[in-house]
Structure 1
């Protein structure tokens, strides 16, 4: 030790240089709160999500929601503004594509051709007739509703696809792109319009902004709290500056190490400085407090005697400070055993910060004292001889006294008031602990109640719930869920190694059935879009002119071959289909694949028309000529001049019977009637599965029919099929309107059960997506909570066992901590505070910090027993020597944690509240349950001196 402090200026210089080095790293710190980063790279759900992205294209979206206050989104001026905004967004370098009302193609047919044209004509003038025609186009396919426009036509979405993978959605380039998109939207001039933004990049940016605000606000606040506590304790400048200096240095080292090691800061990085300032100050307080108690009031000193006094102070304080730091370290290092990346990183750097706070406290503070010297200055000769042995004797009392008044000054001018407070505390807890049966009974009831309440503890990590309810992020999420399909995506992928196998009816029919089942029976589902919709729509278009007579069982020719009685590809006006890609989150929610790009269009696509017959003959045999077809005045098909049945009651009855009981709205009834009449081909909006109905002899031929349909899809369908002609995998996207994971899991279970029961065994069914990644994160949070608690308790048990050379000491020491942790979970259950990525930190940190109070009391109890074991008043002396210090320490640390209540984030506010609660319950349990257990069991380790006490 003497050699270490021989050159105190060297210590100050080295620590100062290292601090400057780490401080220079701080400007390089980057924030990244992308949810994908929270889940380990090897997590099965993340691997499956990556596989799906690799198969169908990895896409990240920013969704811009536009809500008109008074008018429709189909109004001319609004659409003109929207067109200008889209043109500007498309110029941004990181934007891959933009889908909206103004950039969506509309496909219709005339005679035997397919015509592709913009959904909103370029010469749109906004006349009532044009608006009505546009509404009819939007109503022509269910997939438009709640995907492109809201049901009331007052809201629309702009879907901006970015050139980035999901893992990099939180990068600085994407942040800059989002900020530019947001600025352009507000500058576009949308009148009387509310603007919303959603998507993973949006959440990442808003979390980063809130983290910046928290760091600017919370760190100064917790410093003010610590300064106030230190001033009230010591009422000296040195007593304030020295402990504060140590925690600031440890915080700079810990935060600077993150950018040095290329670790990006997360939302938990907001907690790290607050915790280090609140917790790390205790070590400096120990040293400064004992300096004022045992050195500053003695003297005068010569240079040699002053040095000896500092050395002996460190010998006395070193062990208890080390023990307190090790237990706190154990609480933080327990997070290093979790696979949740931000929690793991928090564990690494918080543990590092604690060790730095310990090292700086026991080196820098003594070095500064040695440089400064005693307050009264040195004397040439000491008035009396004070040997090393005498100084050692004067400062070698027990462990309990080394841990007293961790934040309170013992200057004599304050002794009278402090003694009164200590007496009140001692008398209060002495009275409580005399009621041994009452204390144990209440403790048992609390434990039982807490264990029962664990069943109602909610485990959920919802990004949007990080924010206050009044923030734009939450308002945007509510808007998406209320007016559109939702923001969570579940992707169902059906695959087979055989090319084209997934086009067989025995695959597509159950896949379409899944779409219908979840839409009708799973209330959490907001929208379903996928490959079956493409097949059904093109099937509808090709049969739009089929009459009611032709919808009867098809005639079979004498050759035994079914006859196709319709010209392939013929469509009535408005029997179109869109070219649009929908999504409301970071995954592609829908891509129709009809975008007409030059490199993918047919040679004739320059005119917007394609000869459907020449590209895809739909039957091998053109048999008997079809009956002559005409169109009635209202657009319904007739054959041979006959009219549609006039018996409306019978028609409605058939429509109801054919609806399978799904008529819930007037719109459902209208569509059922359309199907009965085959109005614009609605009767064929289905997956072909009856060979006779389509002039085929087997379902294998129907597979070929679907393959022919794919030939007509000249655009990119890679979002829903991995090959444009013979795919080996197709996808269905299910959008959920859920917020929490409990409802999401219920929907996912229903989806998986259906897939297990209905699909053939020779195809592979995989269910993935963002919703399942969030569920995986929830499971990891629970796993991390259990592991970190177990590790922290085990480490604390080992430290106490080693220190007291007794396993009983370790077990007894864990009792107050266990009670405190259970109360914490009961409090969360009772008040609906969710266990998430932030609140998962509470229990283990509370074990690491709360053990200090147990150590304080065990040390005091052990010391007083050795000195006054036969004295019936020894228990009161124990409370006198430790009660005030424990209460003051818990109050000061709890106050530091309570600063988090002012955070921008709900989860950090909950974290601050729970930390403050556990500090109080840990201290109270140490002062009530622990002394009762010691009195009842009278463990042997209390009656024998420690090895270092004998030295």
Structure 2
């Protein structure tokens, strides 16, 4: 320690210069920092369904296309409206990264006029070809099994424009190689050389992902500009998975910058109110900002992408660093008040010596809390665990280096005395002494209520609920959902049936039954399958079903434009698969993903007699559900392991079983309260709120460690438990109060976000902070007074 104090107190300029060099190095990396809300970050890595999904995409193409809803007041097929649509389509096609645009202008028509089987192959009717009867076309768009509630709404006022973006074939191939090698890696089938090659490929994919994401963002921005230029004759909204991921990144990026600045501003104001000195604002805020910037640079340097789950890491690091600094500041001021004659160097040394152990222990327990996320098995959660574990370590080290160096360069400030007996914390001490038993009864009632709320907790949330109703993305998704057959796709793949389908009439009837069943569900919008082609051919054959012989003849004669719409997406000769695409209604408030998936599986296998292993439910709908369910399961495991590890840490820190148990009890409550409130309010856990429990535990136990450590020191004076409680509340209690209030107000800033998960994260983390403060200043001292544990002096 003498070497340490000799360096930080006698060579502060050199130390700060070295710290500045480190800081500058990592800040220079920040331009490479990246956010990721791609479909990759919303699915479970290593998921068997993900492997299957990737193989299906090769056969049928990606579902990553954009949808523009085009809504009019009058007649959609009026000549003026069609000309406007043509100009709009032409502008979209000219955008560099747009591969194709599909509209009502270019799709093949089968009933405008009605085509017989004889001329089905010869005629290619569409509005663009100027051979369509527009009156009949209007009726076909509203009633066709292919286009109704899909390309055109049932009222004929809204149409969908499908925009497919260009693929980067080299990048696509690289990702495919990576995915294949990841599968082998999971199965332990990679040699050391192949593992090294996989690391190289991962880095290449990472670099290309940045480029592709920026390109996609630019393309979406250009499409939005084009939309704004053509909104004079139609109400236009953009939708589709690429837009959702792009907007999520935009919201996260905006929140990261705007709310980090807002948190800094608000915390500065609170510190000024508390300490009434510019010194105690600039030093804590400055060190906190540097800590968060260094961690951001480290993430950029290591190539770690920040996802929805880890998007609030910057704000978390700000408040966690601030927490350490505030404890140092409060202790520094206390010592200065008690010993006004101490010189500056001794004052700093005493502060560090007295606060080193409790701050080290709190850092270790917080490290353990976030480190528990490493067992989740979910890549974004694991990365978040690493980020915060490294981040709290940096916060601790920087605080104990920068604070003494800066203070060594400043003159000793005269600290005015304050009346702790009038403080909120002293009032809490009086409350514990007089009404402690009533407190226990109230808390038991709260715990029972919390358990009831937890029993109602779920992870069933909808993409549309991530955005406020007044945002463009919410309005666009709502319009597409209600008018154009739903948004998020669910795919059902039937194996080894493609060839038999043409010859087996019973099989065609069974597929029709599946189609009709899916169409009847209240959670589903448009259902698309090979059965659509059968319905169109039956209409063309005077409503009589075709036998296998004629079906084989007709399918070969279909024009290519028709095959692209009704054959290729739903039947693959190469893979021998039949495919159904069911679009799910995200606006359905009763939507429960897991229940819907299980219900469909059960009905198809039990009621419709398909073997359970002959079909697969897949698509982004299933993959996202798997992610949420895995998050929920891992959260339960995480909480149990966190408490076990923290109890072991407490045994090491306090060297007392009774004190360790007493310290653990109050810190179970914030997590129970948060989860219980969410369950009672029917708020589902999502990608961000799922981590609140770990955060609440990590920060809550910090308060317990600080309080018990001070309680043990104060107890030495007179061995009076009640007097010790009052002194502890008046000293460390103030630091806990200042820290918690500052942190709480900082997180509440997130309530102003447009991204609903960020709002919930901010509000519930703030509640967790206040709960942790109150339980550690009421329940913890009450338990100590009741049990009177033996305290080693």
TM-score by length of 2: 0.87
Matched, 1:729 2:554: no
Give the alignment of 1:31-430 within 5 angstroms: 31-68=35-72, 70-107=73-110, 109=115, 112-113=118-119, 114-123=121-130, 130-138=133-141, 141-164=144-167, 171-187=213-229, 189-294=230-335, 307=345, 309-370=347-408, 372=409, 374-375=411-412, 413-415=416-418, 418-422=419-423, 425-430=425-430
1:525 counterpart residue number: 524
Give the alignment of 1:457-536 within 5 angstroms: 457-496=457-496, 499-500=499-500, 504-520=504-520, 522-536=521-535
Give the alignment of 1:1-20 within 5 angstroms: 1-4=1-4, 5-6=6-7, 7-20=11-24
Larger Cα-atom Rg? 1
What CA distance in whole angstroms lies between the structure 1 residues aligned with 2:160 and 2:298?
A: 43
Q: Secondary structure at the match of 1:66?
A: strand
Judging changes above 3 Å, is the alpha-carbon distance between structure 1 residues 469 and 320 closer, same or farther for their aligned structure 2 residues?
A: same
What CA distance in whole angstroms lies between the structure 2 residues aligned with 1:842 and 1:40?
A: 20
Judging changes above 3 Å, is the alpha-carbon distance between structure 1 residues 59 and 830 closer, same or farther for their aligned structure 2 residues?
A: closer
4+ residue runs over 6 A deviation = 165-170
Matched, 1:794 2:644: yes
**Contact 2:106–2:128 (CA<8 Å) still a contact in 1?**
no
1:750 counterpart residue number: 599
**Contact 1:524–1:744 (CA<8 Å) still a contact in 2?**
no
Deviation at 1:539, TM superposition (A): 4.4
1:710 counterpart residue number: 555
What CA distance in whole angstroms lies between the structure 2 residues aligned with 1:34 and 1:872?
A: 56
Post-superposition Cα deviations, 1:568-602, rounded to whole Å, max 9, x if no partner, equal xxxxxxxxxxxxxxxxxxxxxxxxxxxxxxxxxxx
What CA distance in whole angstroms lies between the structure 1 residues aligned with 2:628 and 2:741?
A: 33
Q: How many pairs does the alignment contain? A: 739
Q: Secondary structure at the match of 1:97?
A: strand
What CA distance in whole angstroms lies between the structure 1 residues aligned with 2:721 and 2:356?
A: 30
Matched, 1:738 2:737: no
What CA distance in whole angstroms lies between the structure 2 residues aligned with 1:149 and 1:871?
A: 75
Q: Secondary structure at the match of 1:239?
A: helix
2:543 counterpart residue number: 682
Unaligned 5+ runs, structure 1: 377-410, 544-680, 689-693, 695-701, 946-951
Judging changes above 3 Å, is the alpha-carbon distance between structure 1 residues 503 and 864 closer, same or farther for their aligned structure 2 residues?
A: farther
Post-superposition Cα deviations, 1:779-829, rounded to whole Å, max 9, x if no partner, equal 022123223323332332222110111233322211111112111122112
Deviation at 1:845, TM superposition (A): 0.5
Deviation at 1:420, TM superposition (A): 3.6
Judging changes above 3 Å, is the alpha-carbon distance between structure 1 residues 65 and 284 closer, same or farther for their aligned structure 2 residues?
A: same
Judging changes above 3 Å, is the alpha-carbon distance between structure 1 residues 329 and 421 closer, same or farther for their aligned structure 2 residues?
A: farther
Post-superposition Cα deviations, 1:163-192, rounded to whole Å, max 9, x if no partner, equal 3499869722222222222222222x3533
Matched, 1:833 2:678: no
What CA distance in whole angstroms lies between the structure 2 residues aligned with 1:760 and 1:780?
A: 28
**Contact 2:65–2:164 (CA<8 Å) still a contact in 1?**
yes
Judging changes above 3 Å, is the alpha-carbon distance between structure 1 residues 906 and 870 closer, same or farther for their aligned structure 2 residues?
A: closer
What CA distance in whole angstroms lies between the structure 2 residues aligned with 1:504 and 1:306?
A: 92
More helix by share: 2
Matched, 1:537 2:536: yes
2:33 counterpart residue number: 29
TM-score by length of 1: 0.73
Judging changes above 3 Å, is the alpha-carbon distance between structure 1 residues 760 and 901 closer, same or farther for their aligned structure 2 residues?
A: closer
Judging changes above 3 Å, is the alpha-carbon distance between structure 1 residues 714 and 133 closer, same or farther for their aligned structure 2 residues?
A: closer
Post-superposition Cα deviations, 1:311-337, rounded to whole Å, max 9, x if no partner, equal 443222211221222222233333333
What CA distance in whole angstroms lies between the structure 2 residues aligned with 1:135 and 1:97?
A: 24
Judging changes above 3 Å, is the alpha-carbon distance between structure 1 residues 874 and 727 closer, same or farther for their aligned structure 2 residues?
A: closer
Deviation at 1:350, TM superposition (A): 2.2
**Contact 2:44–2:626 (CA<8 Å) still a contact in 1?**
no
What CA distance in whole angstroms lies between the structure 1 residues aligned with 2:141 and 2:386?
A: 54
Judging changes above 3 Å, is the alpha-carbon distance between structure 1 residues 926 and 298 closer, same or farther for their aligned structure 2 residues?
A: closer
**Contact 2:124–2:559 (CA<8 Å) still a contact in 1?**
no
**Contact 2:605–2:612 (CA<8 Å) still a contact in 1?**
no
Deviation at 1:146, TM superposition (A): 0.9
Deviation at 1:259, TM superposition (A): 2.0
Q: Secondary structure at the match of 1:103?
A: coil
**Contact 1:430–1:875 (CA<8 Å) still a contact in 2?**
no
Deviation at 1:933, TM superposition (A): 1.9
What CA distance in whole angstroms lies between the structure 1 residues aligned with 2:167 and 2:382?
A: 26
What CA distance in whole angstroms lies between the structure 2 residues aligned with 1:274 and 1:436?
A: 35
Judging changes above 3 Å, is the alpha-carbon distance between structure 1 residues 514 and 317 closer, same or farther for their aligned structure 2 residues?
A: same
**Contact 1:897–1:912 (CA<8 Å) still a contact in 2?**
yes
1:921 counterpart residue number: 771
**Contact 2:71–2:236 (CA<8 Å) still a contact in 1?**
yes
What CA distance in whole angstroms lies between the structure 1 residues aligned with 2:469 and 2:69?
A: 18
Deviation at 1:486, TM superposition (A): 0.4
Q: Secondary structure at the match of 2:28?
A: helix
Judging changes above 3 Å, is the alpha-carbon distance between structure 1 residues 98 and 293 closer, same or farther for their aligned structure 2 residues?
A: same
Deviation at 1:60, TM superposition (A): 1.7
Give the alignment of 1:517-916 within 5 angstroms: 517-520=517-520, 522-541=521-540, 543=541, 681-684=542-545, 694=547, 702=548, 705-715=550-560, 716=564, 717-723=567-573, 728-739=576-587, 742-757=591-606, 758-761=608-611, 764-869=614-719, 873-916=723-766
Judging changes above 3 Å, is the alpha-carbon distance between structure 1 residues 307 and 778 closer, same or farther for their aligned structure 2 residues?
A: same
Judging changes above 3 Å, is the alpha-carbon distance between structure 1 residues 99 and 475 closer, same or farther for their aligned structure 2 residues?
A: same
Q: Secondary structure at the match of 1:236?
A: coil
Deviation at 1:874, TM superposition (A): 4.1
Deviation at 1:729, TM superposition (A): 0.8
What CA distance in whole angstroms lies between the structure 2 residues aligned with 1:920 and 1:138?
A: 57
Post-superposition Cα deviations, 1:521-548, rounded to whole Å, max 9, x if no partner, equal x11121111112223423443x3xxxxx
**Contact 1:502–1:727 (CA<8 Å) still a contact in 2?**
no
Judging changes above 3 Å, is the alpha-carbon distance between structure 1 residues 897 and 762 closer, same or farther for their aligned structure 2 residues?
A: closer
- RMSD value over aligned CA atoms? 2.9
Post-superposition Cα deviations, 1:587-634, rounded to whole Å, max 9, x if no partner, equal xxxxxxxxxxxxxxxxxxxxxxxxxxxxxxxxxxxxxxxxxxxxxxxx
What CA distance in whole angstroms lies between the structure 2 residues aligned with 1:45 and 1:453?
A: 32
Judging changes above 3 Å, is the alpha-carbon distance between structure 1 residues 55 and 780 closer, same or farther for their aligned structure 2 residues?
A: same
**Contact 2:27–2:293 (CA<8 Å) still a contact in 1?**
yes
